[in-house]
Amino acid sequence: MKKIILVIFLILLNTIVFPGDRDSKKNKRKAKRIHERVLTIDSHNDTPLRMIRPGFDWGERHDAKKDRSRVDLVRMEEGGLDGSFFAVFVGQGPRTPEGYAKAKKRTMMIFDTLLSSINRYPDKVGLALTPEDAYKLEKEGKRIAFIGIENGYPVGKDLALIQTYYDKGARYITVVHTRNNDICDSSTDTIGYDGLSEFGTDVVKEMNRLGMMIDVSHASDASYYDILNVTKAPVIASHSCARALCDSPRNLDDDMLRALVANGGVIQMCILSSYIKIPAPNPPRDSARAAVRKKFHDFENLTDEEMTQARKEWYAIEDKFPRELATVSEVVDHIDHIVAVAGIDHIGIGTDFDGGGGVSGCYDASEMGNITLELVNRGYSEADIRKIWGENLMRVMRDNIRLAQQPPETN
């Protein structure tokens, strides 16, 4: 009799749904529905750096644990990621005629490889030049490929190249990277112009003329404010976080967030761990990484062979000293803070996948839905999530296009 009672008790216990479990399951279903309905756009990845490697096919599924890649068409579909801005990245090199020529050549090579990769799968993905293109591709069930340029170095001192890159499909330029260039100062270099250069002012105006978004991620604070003072259109920070929660010069402080609101722009939440939380001290790892950076000149202006070797040595350090990744919860802590300071209309998501991005719970493109789930758990509405995942960024893009079409001001 006791055995029968025990069996009945266990059966009944198995059918009980505790309130927390019920809410969790309900939120998962809700998050899944929302994630499927909204346009999801990642404003920054470095996947073209994978595409230019021999043998990499983004039409196949890759394993991030094996080859460290974070984005391909299969995982984008698995993660419900509708589209991304694929960055044409060229590291900072010598500010000389020879350096500029080399940067331009590499930029055009990456463009051609990226466009070829897109055109290889016309039934799965398409190039987008406008928000309308993005929504059309979404309706067709295809992935969306926007193009951005990371680092204004390939512009050199030739303003006409901005038009050239625009014509190739670029719709934003991250005006600077980890070192100062001819446009402005970087957030991670010494003071050069103490902000925007005279040439940089012309770059901002030319981008405004074309309707090309200005990306202020990586710009120094002085450069940031100079750009806001010159631009006639809203800017983006394509992959940055809140400095109040992680004191990195790569992030925006609260005053910068408020200035972004006044500009009408948007900050795209980056999911690179060291911008989300300060890494725990690890002297042996830090020393080894510093040695590799020094050996390979901070990974700037390297040949393909040198970059391959640098990558190999860097990955060996990562394997020997595994870093503690930030979590999806910590990502949304930053989003909460940005929304509290800047409001729901000025926040988006820019992963920096294949450029260091990836956190526990959102390690690659297949796990993007976990961000939506955490937003639902925090009480964000579908309208809020729609703005975060793409609507805000598309608004800024439309504003840039609209303002470029207005007649120039006359004195």
Q: What backbone phi and psi angles, to 5 degrees, belong to 377?
A: -60, -30
Q: Are residues 310 and 189 part of one domain?
A: no
Report the CATH number at residue 152.
3.20.20.140
Q: Are residues 313 and 188 part of one domain?
A: no
Which residue is it, tokens 């604070």?
Answer: 221
Listed residue (237, 208, 207) closest to 221, CA to CA:
237
Q: Are residues 163 and 300 part of one domain?
A: no
Asked if the structure places residue 11 within a domain, the reply is no
Q: What is the pTM of this model?
A: 0.91
Domain boundary among 257, 292, 323: 323
- Helices marked H in 217-368: 221-230, 254-263, 273-276, 283-295, 304-320, 328-342
Beta bridge partners of 370: none
Query: Token pair for residue 206?
Result: 């030319």
Asked if the structure places residue 73 within a domain, the reply is yes
Q: Are residues 285 and 152 part of one domain?
A: no
Q: Give the CA distances from residue 351 to residues 193, 347, 398, in Å, rounded to whole numbers and listed in that order.
A: 30, 13, 22
Asked if the structure places residue 25 within a domain, the reply is no
Asked if the structure places residue 253 within a domain, the reply is yes
Which structural domain range is residue 298 located in? 280-323
Mean pLDDT by 10 residues, the chain (411 residues): 50 43 83 98 98 96 95 99 98 96 98 99 99 99 99 98 99 98 98 98 99 99 99 99 98 99 99 95 86 85 83 85 93 99 99 97 98 98 99 99 84 41
d(CA 120, CA 24): 41
- Look at residue 377 and give its three-state secondary structure: helix
Is the distance from CB of 226 to CB of 203 less than 8 angstroms? Answer: no
Query: Token pair for residue 90?
Result: 């060229």
Asked if the structure places residue 21 within a domain, the reply is no
Is the distance from CB of 263 to CB of 231 less than 8 angstroms? Answer: yes
Listed residue (113, 48, 73) closest to 364, CA to CA:
73
Instruction: Kindly tell me the sign of the dihedral angle through the C-alpha atoms of 321, 324, 325, 326.
Output: negative
Long-range CB contacts (< 8 A, 24+ apart) of 227-233? 227/175, 227/184, 227/196, 227/200, 228/259, 228/260, 228/262, 228/263, 230/196, 230/201, 230/204, 230/205, 231/204, 231/263, 232/208, 232/403, 233/208, 233/399, 233/400, 233/403, 233/404
Q: Are residues 89 and 60 part of one domain?
A: yes
Q: Are residues 389 and 358 part of one domain?
A: yes
Residue 166, CA atoms < 13 Å, CB-side half-sphere: 17
Q: Are residues 121 and 56 part of one domain?
A: yes
Is the distance from CB of 233 to CB of 255 less than 8 angstroms? Answer: no
- Look at residue 380 and give its three-state secondary structure: coil
Q: Are residues 45 and 191 part of one domain?
A: yes
**How many domains does the chain divide into?**
2
Q: Are residues 298 and 242 part of one domain?
A: no
Asked if the structure places residue 189 within a domain, the reply is yes
**Per-residue confidence (pLDDT) for residue 1, from 0 to 100:** 53
Q: Are residues 190 and 289 part of one domain?
A: no
Q: Are residues 110 and 239 part of one domain?
A: yes
Listed residue (104, 103, 206, 106) closest to 162, CA to CA:
206
Q: Are residues 253 and 334 part of one domain?
A: yes
Angle at which helices 254-263 and 328-342 cross, to 10°: 60
Domain boundary among 291, 323, 355: 323
**Per-residue confidence (pLDDT) for residue 4, from 0 to 100:** 53
d(CA 104, CA 236): 24
**Per-residue confidence (pLDDT) for residue 299, from 0 to 100:** 81
**CA angle in degrees (0–180, nearest 5) for 342-347-349:** 155
Asked if the structure places residue 393 within a domain, the reply is yes
Asked if the structure places residue 174 within a domain, the reply is yes
